[in-house]
Structure 1
Amino acid sequence: MKNWKISACWLAIMVISLLGTADVQAQGDKKSTAILEAMSNKYQKIKSFKAVFSYIPEGQKPLKGEATVKGTKFRLKMAGQEIFNDGKLMATYIKETNEVNLQDFDPTATGDLDPTKIYTAYKKGFKYAYLKEKKEGNKTLDVVELTSTNKTSQVNKVQIEVNKADNAISSWKIFQKNGQVVTYKVEQFLPDVNVADSFFAFNSKMYPGVEVVDLR
């Protein structure tokens, strides 16, 4: 269960970070590329954001998550964990055990799951294909499928649903190579939030009695 939680967090980081840093080259059909470029252009103009989302591991009940991103800094809360990353140090706080793991943030260690390298991963790590148009309430969505070309990636493919009206991501579904499937849906998105850099650094004083495991 603990491994699943960590895996889920990293997968969420990958796609949420894609909102702010994605870049697209023509590695698929013209329609899918145009949709991804329009989505990318929308989010690249945003300097920071807060997103509230739901995520549903296949066959399980929906859960809630929350992420705040500012450049390469992020803070993510989901699956009983909270991950702090100030761009240099990453702290993973586990609520169940009141424990925090500290480690130097190594952009090369996580490959295409690293939010500071998603620009390269997205640009070189996937090919694209337009799947279909679908209706959801009063929204019309384009569904694009990204298939990983990286043999070492944990991700097999990602299906992204983009709102035709404003080029915003509505939801995405991640298919892992181990067979796990998780669906994420954006419930609330606040662009250009005013957040201090200190928000992304773990402060042990805010967690009385926390056990600090320094892995550096």
Structure 2
Amino acid sequence: MKKITIFSFVLAIVVLSNVFTTTVQAQGDKKSTAILEAMSNKYQKIKSFKAIFTYTPEGGKALKGDATVKGTKFRLKMAGQEIFNDGKLMATYIKETNEVNLQDFDPSAGGDLDPTRIYSAYKKGFKYAFLQEKKEGAKTYEVVELTSTGKNSQVDKVQIEVNKADKSINSWKIFQKNGQKVTYKVEQFQPDVAVPDTYFTFNSKQFPGVEVVDLR
């Protein structure tokens, strides 16, 4: 479950900085289409960001994590692991064992949740519909549900809550076909952060005695 949770968040959060390059036919009702397009237009303008979030497996307790993203590069901390990705090489550091696994980064391996789809998923591979408006305090959120149309997809559906006022993402819940459910909630979001490219590359000198496992 831990591995799935980490991978799902990486694939979901990275694409906040991606820009749409194609226009395709909508696969949802007018209201959900308008919400998703407005949300996407907001995030495609962001060059980099840092996010603090919680992720909660159904029936489990909420855990914290943080991610820094710049284009296709990202660095993620959660569940006792830290993932470095410079856009080509992904290094997963496991604190408990002081071990790092190296592997080539393949965005397409994520299928429905790869970094070019989660915020543009409704454009291909999903149909979508507006579910409801809900209030939390003074804020109103619009809930849109994306349902997978792929027979081989591991994801059944994704429910996204979008802030009605500024079209920012509040949370999303992933429903796997195997019955697993995980909710991600953005607690803090800082757009356009200044961060050097070296921040996304694993440096063994910063982890004395680390065991390197090359899986390439």
1:195 maps to: 195
2:172 maps to: 172
Q: Which amino acid aligns with 2:102?
A: L
Alignment equivalent of 1:16, drawn from 13, 16, 31: 13
Distance 1:161 1:121 in 2: 15
RMSD: 1.7
Counterparts in 2 of 1:37 and 1:78: CA distance versus 1, 3 Å: same
Q: Do the aligned partners of 2:27 and 2:122 also contact (CA within 8 Å) in 1?
A: no
Name which of structure 1's ranges 145-154 and 61-70 shifts more when overlaid on structure 2: 145-154
Give 1:192 shift.
0.1
Question: Is 2:96 the partner of 1:113?
Answer: no
Give 1:116 shift.
5.0
Q: Which amino acid aligns with 1:80?
A: G
Query: Is there any run of 5+ residues in structure 2 with no aligned partner, and where?
Result: none
Normalised to the residue count of structure 2, the TM-score between the two structures is 0.92
The 5 A counterparts of 1:1-216 are 4-21=1-18, 23=20, 25=24, 26-116=26-116, 121-216=121-216
Q: Do the aligned partners of 1:72 and 1:116 also contact (CA within 8 Å) in 2?
A: no
Q: Do the aligned partners of 2:40 and 2:119 also contact (CA within 8 Å) in 1?
A: no
Query: Is there any run of 5+ residues in structure 1 with no aligned partner, and where?
Result: none
Give 1:157 shift.
0.7
Number of positions where the alignment pairs a residue of Structure 1 with one of Structure 2 = 213
Identity among equivalent positions (%) equals 77
Give 1:6 shift.
1.4
Q: What per-residue deviation string (whole Å, max 9, x for no partner) do you get for residues 171-206 of structure 1? A: 111111111111111100000000111111111111
Distance 1:167 1:116 in 2: 19
Distance 2:108 2:44 in 1: 23
Which structure's residues are more often helix, by fraction? 1
Distance 1:117 1:145 in 2: 15
Normalised to the residue count of structure 1, the TM-score between the two structures is 0.92
